[in-house]
Structure 1
Amino acid sequence: MKPPRHLIATLTAAAIILAALGPAVAADQPNIILIYTDDISARELPIYGSSEWTDPLSNNTSDPQYRGKTPVLDRLANEGVWIADAWAATICSPSRAMMMTGRYASLHKWWHNGAIGRVALDDKGTRTRPSRLYETSPLLIGHVAQQAGYATQWVGKTQMPGCDEDAHQHFGFDEGVFTPGNSMFAPNPHTDFRVDYTKVDGKRATVNVDTGQVIKSYGQTSWYWKPGVALMNHPANSKPMEYWPNTPESQATFGLNTYGPDVELDFIFEFMDRKHSDGQPFFIYHTTHLGHGAFNWIDPSAKSKYVKTPKIHWDGNAYHRDAPNITGDDGVYDDHGTLSEMGMHAHVEYLDYQVWLYLNKLKDMGIENDTVLIFCSDNGTWGYGKGSHDRQKGTHVPLIIHAPGLNFTKQGKQNVLASMADMLPTLADLVGTEIPVDYEIHGQSLIPFLTTNKPTHREWVYAYKKDMQLIRGTHVLKDGNDKWWDVSETPDDLISYPEITDWSQVSDAHRAQRDLFVNGILPRYDTYNTEPDPPTPILD
């Protein structure tokens, strides 16, 4: 496929970088599965031991009935490693940019949802659009894996504003299974669980296509029940990007009881089978929607934003799943007791079930010791942390790494700092790709820490929200409100740190870390007001 003219300069730069990486490494490369959950704070996983978590109405609670149970993730965390203080950005798009680029917003220019650096589409700069990640950062996680000879697949939420169906071909992924909230191109013809727009009293209004009624919801197509799914470069496609179901067999079974996260996993497993059969290692970037609230097409009047999942049961050794039985039409549906309760805890538990399915699949394929599984999230829970710049409410996310075939020198809880920016260099180390020394990234590979006697990983972690900067070390944290907090000890709820208002009352180490941050670290990345856009215009 010939790239559009405005991409040629960027893709040429990417080609130069990839060529500099050298030939692919062919020996003993582990498969890698990176599960990036949506809007799930570290506190929602029992392994983190928080005294509070999120109830179905997005309030803080200590009620055990709303505590997600995660026997599989608990086992993986204890067999592998889990990081006590991993940071993302405060909200979806910039956090995904951090993950995919290994960079902070000072380079990739995705400062916040709706605050993305713009590129010029004409010589005068009178026409602009949001920049795309491969324009500001031509080496992404998909490219790193591809260069090492991996088959790459991106599945789930994309959260790439301004990207049409062609643009999705340039992120370094051979195939994609996208469950977009907003349609990437023409409205999906296979589901009426989507919205349309009309004018009511001269104002734009959102219409539920299923019922024809005006609703108060952001524009979306369902990603849970009766989902909108687009396939990129799939063998069954008749063109590079098209909506699923796209075969007589899939069309015959698609309907009310089709659950988006199940569809995602089906396509992932099919991809794994194909690539393993070809003798090719694979990298799967699974950006699940689970954890994210949504308009409830099954029950539009529901107060909880956490749409029900299929009902699952853990018997102490294995999961069992009830077949969904949803009936009805036009906004009136009955699930006949086959679905879960509403709540964050149900989403966390369904993720645990899906990780169990992953492990069973890897064992069946005989590659459980040849695969690295990483579990993390893009930002804090909605209503508690998502979009928040208060302390680390928005940035503190889970991070579990399970790699039974690698010789980790660490196991279980690790009281260290890590960043979602670390995933790109960690991936590069795992697949055997060297990042050019003159290509700037901000992430640091976790592999030296995990496989040697190195006692720590990072001295500090950093995040951003427009012109607000957040940073923490082992002693102090500065949040987006420019308040300072003593983080030398972890409170029971993982967030109630004491505020520092009198610096004479803290240690020399606290003051030294503050001075390092203020004078040495923060000025490097404080460019929102001076350099919000990419430096080189990309002409259309």
Structure 2
Amino acid sequence: MRHLLAVLSVALLGLGLGVYFAPNVVAGEPIGPGTKPNIIVVYADDISARELPIYGSSVWTRPGRVVDDHETSDPAFLAKTPVMDQMATEGVWIKNAWAATVCGPSRAMMMTGRYAHQHKWWHNKDKGKYVNAKGKKEIWPLYASSPLEMGTVAQQSGYATMWAGKTQMAGDIREFGFDEGLFTPGAGLDGYSPYTDFSILTKKVDGERILINQDTGKPGGLYQVSGYFWQPGATMMNHPDAPGEIVWWPYTEQQKAEYGLTTYAPDVELDYIFDFMERKTAENKPFFVYHTSHLGHAQFDWFHPESNIKYPGTPIIEWDGSRYTRTEPKITGDNGVYDTHGTVTEPGMHSHVEYLDYQMWLYREKLEELGIADNTIVIFTADNGTHGYGKSRWFRQVGPHVPFIIYAPGMTKQGEQDVLVNISDILPTIAELGGFEFPEGYEIDGTSLVPFLFTDQEAHRDWVYAWQREGQILRGELVLIDGAGDWYDVSQTPDDLDDFPKITDWSKVSEAHRAERDELLAILPRFDLHATERNAPNAQ
């Protein structure tokens, strides 16, 4: 088992080679109640469950421009994920796992284990306000609404904590319970990185604000943003190179000398994660890593500024049946004219998912190298459905349906699990694995997965919930109500994972369907507070 078994990632797992993993633990105590394993949560960006082959969808996302319809059944555009496939098979993968429908609220749910009726993050552009100590009304930060967040719970459980990647959090980034951080495109400092011009800025021209590609000085881009793939903007927090500080990265003179067009943010994130893992393992201290990759998210392609492509290419990787190799990128040019010399993949969602698979292989290798594979649990999932298909949509379950894979030695379950799981479940799972108990009266909407994963418990949840502004989405084993108020029969999974039959005549479904409908209708009012309690209690 020691060759791979401790890595799991819900949007990135699977090793394609049946001989590489073994399901038994040969060293140390199996992970489960009463142990304190290392924990790695990989949270991918805008990746629907249908993008991973293990889910068996008949359709997935094809490359194209932002305005295009991206659905295809062409196998050329289905990601190849040998590492994820096997990790899902040797570990577990959840058939119906839900996030929220868009990133901000989903990340709030991950951080807090709570839904919007508590933290008030209803949508990216619809976040509840509170009145701060200076009497100013601003976005209610999650650490104010929900002080026992993911990082804080892990810290109080005795873990060293690190956060790497996307943040998208309001407030002070130092207040989320993480000892260290490497943030792309940068968090904790004002403005954009001084080391890159891969940014889209707003500029006032003839009295109107327009978007400008900083690299070329010409109009371009869809929204104001700094780069988070190639030549990224980044900050680091409280690293030994700069203890107690948030600073722009690159920071050291060597880092600045090596930084350039071939610097790829997903690689930088993993470098810092592995450095953190090495140091904490040497200190014999359990660690918690929250890896919020941008892979899966659309981004302006500075190497092809006229393309309007959604998913810029990644470094080229190859799988030989047992290991990955990566081609070192060679990229030259400036001011919007670049040559990647055949060292960058074609754009596409499949390229992003495949690079995640490569990174999961790297996780596996690092865990084996450090000798901690038998005492590490990895969870992989994503924050919402794919852009152009599910993201920010409340119809059926296209918005919240995400991949979810878990691996840990000692689990009593293996392979596909036809149960319901919610992203809110991850926080109480971390708490139980770390021996943390929430104070009496502190409400958590999630349910720990530990009993399901490590005992003979057959079910996990009776229902899963998501939301978007005033819209609520709720499903059980048999029926689903979406944000439009339509009901669907979800007792059978369609080929595309989503095209469920609409229920228009309740007399034509079973009594069990009708009974579950009534149960779900009784649940909804508890969370339906957007119209009446949109803001924090002190700002209603």
TM-score using structure 1 length: 0.91
Tell me, yes or no, if the aligned pair for 1:55 and 1:344 is still in contact at 8 Å.
yes
Using a 3 Å threshold, how does the CA distance of structure 1 residues 378 and 157 change in structure 2: closer, same or farther?
A: same
Q: Could you tell me how far apart the structure 2 residues matched to 1:183 and 1:337 are?
A: 36
For 1:432, the equivalent position in structure 2 comes to 435
Aligned pair 1:153/2:162, yes or no? yes
Tell me, yes or no, if the aligned pair for 1:181 and 1:222 is still in contact at 8 Å.
no
Q: Could you tell me how far apart the structure 1 residues matched to 2:189 and 2:493 are?
A: 43
Q: Within 5 A, what are the aligned runs for 1:197-208?
A: 197-208=202-213
Paired residue for 1:341, among 340, 346, 358?
346
Aligned pair 1:48/2:70, yes or no? no
For 1:210, the equivalent position in structure 2 comes to 215
Q: Could you tell me how far apart the structure 2 residues matched to 1:269 and 1:328 are?
A: 31
> 3-state DSSP class of the match of 1:536?
helix
Moved over 2 A (4+): 180-184
For 2:365, the equivalent position in structure 1 comes to 360
> 3-state DSSP class of the match of 1:34?
strand
Q: Quote how far apart the aligned CAs of 1:471 are.
A: 0.1
For 2:446, the equivalent position in structure 1 comes to 443
Tell me, yes or no, if the aligned pair for 1:182 and 1:219 is still in contact at 8 Å.
no
Using a 3 Å threshold, how does the CA distance of structure 1 residues 181 and 243 change in structure 2: closer, same or farther?
A: closer
Aligned pair 1:30/2:37, yes or no? yes
Structure 2 letter corresponding to 1:470: I
Q: Within 5 A, what are the aligned runs for 1:260-271?
A: 260-271=265-276
Q: Could you tell me how far apart the structure 2 residues matched to 1:153 and 1:61 are?
A: 38
1:376-395 CA-to-partner distances (Å, cap 9, x unmatched) read 00000000000010100000
> 3-state DSSP class of the match of 1:223?
coil
Q: Quote how far apart the aligned CAs of 1:470 are.
A: 0.4
Segment drifting more, 294-303 vs 379-388: 294-303
Q: Quote how far apart the aligned CAs of 1:372 are.
A: 0.3
Q: Quote how far apart the aligned CAs of 1:195 are.
A: 2.7
Paired residue for 2:242, among 227, 237, 248?
237
For 1:13, the equivalent position in structure 2 comes to none
Segment drifting more, 202-211 vs 345-354: 202-211
For 2:10, the equivalent position in structure 1 comes to none
Q: Quote how far apart the aligned CAs of 1:186 are.
A: 3.0
Segment drifting more, 27-36 vs 107-116: 27-36
Aligned pair 1:84/2:95, yes or no? yes
> 3-state DSSP class of the match of 1:35?
strand
Q: Quote how far apart the aligned CAs of 1:180 are.
A: 2.5
Using a 3 Å threshold, how does the CA distance of structure 1 residues 351 and 380 change in structure 2: closer, same or farther?
A: same
For 1:120, the equivalent position in structure 2 comes to 131
Tell me, yes or no, if the aligned pair for 2:189 and 2:246 is still in contact at 8 Å.
no
Structure 2 letter corresponding to 1:380: G
Tell me, yes or no, if the aligned pair for 2:300 and 2:308 is still in contact at 8 Å.
no
Using a 3 Å threshold, how does the CA distance of structure 1 residues 239 and 426 change in structure 2: closer, same or farther?
A: closer
Using a 3 Å threshold, how does the CA distance of structure 1 residues 449 and 505 change in structure 2: closer, same or farther?
A: same
1:193-251 CA-to-partner distances (Å, cap 9, x unmatched) read 11333212210112111111121321111000000010011111266111011101101
Q: Could you tell me how far apart the structure 1 residues matched to 2:405 and 2:216 are?
A: 42
Q: Could you tell me how far apart the structure 2 residues matched to 1:328 and 1:319 are?
A: 28
Q: Quote how far apart the aligned CAs of 1:121 are.
A: 3.6
For 1:507, the equivalent position in structure 2 comes to 510
1:422-459 CA-to-partner distances (Å, cap 9, x unmatched) read 00001111111111231001100011111111111000
Determine what percentage of the aligned residue pairs are the same residue: 55
Segment drifting more, 172-181 vs 67-76: 172-181
Paired residue for 2:196, among 191, 195, 198?
191
Aligned pair 1:139/2:148, yes or no? yes
Tell me, yes or no, if the aligned pair for 1:121 and 1:537 is still in contact at 8 Å.
no
For 2:462, the equivalent position in structure 1 comes to 459
Structure 2 letter corresponding to 1:170: E
> 3-state DSSP class of the match of 1:416?
strand
Structure 2 letter corresponding to 1:100: M
Paired residue for 2:263, among 250, 253, 258?
258
Q: Could you tell me how far apart the structure 2 residues matched to 1:27 and 1:83 are?
A: 24
Structure 2 letter corresponding to 1:34: V
Q: Could you tell me how far apart the structure 2 residues matched to 1:318 and 1:500 are?
A: 48
Tell me, yes or no, if the aligned pair for 1:183 and 1:220 is still in contact at 8 Å.
no
Using a 3 Å threshold, how does the CA distance of structure 1 residues 440 and 326 change in structure 2: closer, same or farther?
A: same
Aligned pair 1:69/2:80, yes or no? yes
Tell me, yes or no, if the aligned pair for 2:40 and 2:288 is still in contact at 8 Å.
yes
Paired residue for 1:413, among 411, 416, 428?
416
Paired residue for 2:378, among 368, 373, 398?
373
For 1:498, the equivalent position in structure 2 comes to 501
Q: Quote how far apart the aligned CAs of 1:122 are.
A: 6.7
Q: Could you tell me how far apart the structure 2 residues matched to 1:426 and 1:121 are?
A: 32
Structure 1 letter corresponding to 2:475: R
> 3-state DSSP class of the match of 2:537?
coil
Q: Could you tell me how far apart the structure 1 residues matched to 2:133 and 2:319 are?
A: 58
Segment drifting more, 229-238 vs 81-90: 229-238
Paired residue for 2:293, among 283, 288, 303?
288
> 3-state DSSP class of the match of 2:285?
coil
Tell me, yes or no, if the aligned pair for 1:40 and 1:378 is still in contact at 8 Å.
yes
1:450-502 CA-to-partner distances (Å, cap 9, x unmatched) read 11111110000001111111000000000001000000000010001000000
RMSD: 1.7
Structure 2 letter corresponding to 1:285: Y
Tell me, yes or no, if the aligned pair for 1:194 and 1:209 is still in contact at 8 Å.
yes
Aligned pair 1:531/2:538, yes or no? no
Tell me, yes or no, if the aligned pair for 1:195 and 1:221 is still in contact at 8 Å.
yes
Structure 1 letter corresponding to 2:357: D
For 2:490, the equivalent position in structure 1 comes to 487
Gaps of 5+ in 2: 1-32
1:90-113 CA-to-partner distances (Å, cap 9, x unmatched) read 000000001110000000110011
For 2:8, the equivalent position in structure 1 comes to none
Structure 1 letter corresponding to 2:117: S
Structure 1 letter corresponding to 2:381: C
Segment drifting more, 439-448 vs 231-240: 231-240
> 3-state DSSP class of the match of 1:190?
coil
